[in-house]
Structure 1
Amino acid sequence: MTLSSSSRRAFLALAASGAALGLPQSGSAARPEAPPLYITTPKPFPAFKFSDASGHPLSLADFHGKFVLLNIWATWCIPCRKEMTTLDQLQVKLGGPHFEVVPVSIDAEGLAAVRKFYAEIKIERLGIFLDPSGSVMQMLNLEGVPTSFLIDPNGKQIGRETGAVVWDSPSVVSFLNHQISRHPHD
């Protein structure tokens, strides 16, 4: 699937809406004047391993056939903490056979830290996914968290965002619904 120029503009606008609502960008390199999202030409996403809450090893291949919003985050990251409730609500609105939010925590304390955090802010719909080694940071050449990737059902990266976004905003939900509806389903 290739995003049309109008879809690219829509995706930029929806990400900008998150910045307009005052969510801070992560990292010192973030520039407030730059659009918070850039769309990539579809390209294969690097394979990396992470685990679920039970310790079962996973990769993005386990989500083949779905759009995935992959979010790399940590409980100690203030912008991450602010956007997690919006990711939870996005999962409520769009989660199902064609879309899933996959938040991968890089907390060294692993499962205990994430469970405690989810309980504190009442995260109810997001799964717990872990990379306590933080190896995903190096593998994906990330400079900071949160960083999110939109992955199409064929495992190709079609968008990237560094910094917090209001993921459950009407413009984001509308854009993602449009992308999901454009992709043929089995």
Structure 2
Amino acid sequence: MNASNKRKHAASPARYVIAAAIAVIAGFGTVYLLLAPSDNGSSPQTAPATADKAGGVSGAASPLKGLNRGDMAAFVVRPKPLPLPDFSFDGPGGAKQSAADLKGKVVLLNIWATWCVPCREEMPQLNALQAELGGPEFEVVAINIDKDGAEKAKTFLEETGAKDLALYADPTGKLFATLKVVGMPTTLLLNAEGHEMGRLVGPADWASPEAKALIEAAIAAEAKSSS
């Protein structure tokens, strides 16, 4: 084989990337992976270097420590709440809002789209969580990133029976990159200061006992810190 043919048959970096992408899709078919910056350089299924599945490292005492189990096993706990970049979105009725508007209570921030099949599957569970625990201390804020306008997202919520979820939207799609979202859906748990306590990439049963325990622990931690 001459040098020209050797070059043709040599594996390029692009081919390795494509092969890796196929492997990811095969292994994690319920997650829609997109080309976006990863979370601290980790894959969606790998905890960041500063956190572990037990809820922290170096003796860090996260109030969520040990609660990422069962249906919440994929939830990555931050050893210390992580400040997020400022971001904006449309609130109910189209009113402009920012990250500051989410402060003052624990927020489960869910990023979703109408074309995301796993999002459709988990939306009723997010609604059930909001119906049971939603109030002054906690809210499920599900932000749609479709560019087709709010009407399609509204229909989606109606079809999935999500009557307890307010319609939040980011038609610009900037939120995806700002929060380093690497898959769809992605859900972040924020404390009352708007800092990330942890995140989960992919669908999850947010109406499960494990999910409720996680949220209740976050709410209790905020109540303790404010007392």
TM-score using structure 1 length: 0.82
Which gives a bigger RCO, structure 1 or 2 (Cα 8 Å, sep 6+)? 1
Name 1:171's counterpart in structure 2: 210
Secondary structure at the residue paired with 1:47?
coil
Q: Which has the larger displacement, 93-102 or 110-119?
A: 110-119
Name 1:137's counterpart in structure 2: 176
Q: Structure 2 stretches of 5 or more lacking a match?
A: 1-55
Secondary structure at the residue paired with 1:7?
coil
Please say if residues 79 and 163 of structure 1, whose CA atoms lie closer than 8 Å, have aligned partners that are also in contact: yes
Task: Name the CA distance, whole Å, in 2 between partners of 1:128 and 1:88.
Answer: 12
Secondary structure at the residue paired with 2:148?
coil
Instruction: Note the C-alpha offset of 1:135.
Output: 0.9
Encode CA deviations 1:103-151: one digit per residue, 9 max, x unaligned: 0100111211111111212211001000012111121222221011000
Task: Name the CA distance, whole Å, in 2 between partners of 1:123 and 1:158.
Answer: 25
Instruction: Note the C-alpha offset of 1:6.
Output: 7.3
Name 2:84's counterpart in structure 1: 45
Amino acid aligned to 1:181 = A
**Alignment identity in percent?**
36
Name 2:21's counterpart in structure 1: none
Task: Name the CA distance, whole Å, in 2 between partners of 1:59 and 1:65.
Answer: 13
Q: Structure 1 stretches of 5 or more lacking a match?
A: 19-34
RMSD: 1.9
Q: Does 1:7 align with 2:45?
A: no
Q: How many residues align?
A: 166
Choose 1 or 2 for highest CA Rg.
2
Name 1:61's counterpart in structure 2: 100
Secondary structure at the residue paired with 2:114?
coil
Task: Name the CA distance, whole Å, in 2 between partners of 1:182 and 1:161.
Answer: 20
Please say if residues 106 and 192 of structure 2, whose CA atoms lie closer than 8 Å, have aligned partners that are also in contact: yes
Instruction: Note the C-alpha offset of 1:5.
Output: 5.7
Encode CA deviations 1:13-45: one digit per residue, 9 max, x unaligned: 1xx415xxxxxxxxxxxxxxxx51111121112
Residue 128 (structure 1) aligned to one of 162, 167, 183: 167
Q: Does 1:36 align with 2:74?
A: yes
Please say if residues 110 and 131 of structure 1, whose CA atoms lie closer than 8 Å, have aligned partners that are also in contact: no
Instruction: Note the C-alpha offset of 1:77.
Output: 0.2
Name 1:84's counterpart in structure 2: 123
Q: Structure 1 residues 70 and 6 mapped into 2: Cα distance closer, same or farther (>3 Å)?
A: closer
Name 1:31's counterpart in structure 2: none
Name 1:158's counterpart in structure 2: 197
Task: Name the CA distance, whole Å, in 1 between partners of 2:144 and 2:165.
Answer: 12
Encode CA deviations 1:29-69: one digit per residue, 9 max, x unaligned: xxxxxx51111121112210000232110112112110000
Pairs within 5 Å for 1:14-25: 16-17=70-71
Instruction: Note the C-alpha offset of 1:169.
Output: 0.7
Task: Name the CA distance, whole Å, in 2 between partners of 1:123 and 1:155.
Answer: 24
Instruction: Note the C-alpha offset of 1:7.
Output: 3.0
Task: Name the CA distance, whole Å, in 2 between partners of 1:92 and 1:53.
Answer: 17
TM-score using structure 2 length: 0.68
Amino acid aligned to 2:216 = N
Please say if residues 144 and 153 of structure 2, whose CA atoms lie closer than 8 Å, have aligned partners that are also in contact: yes
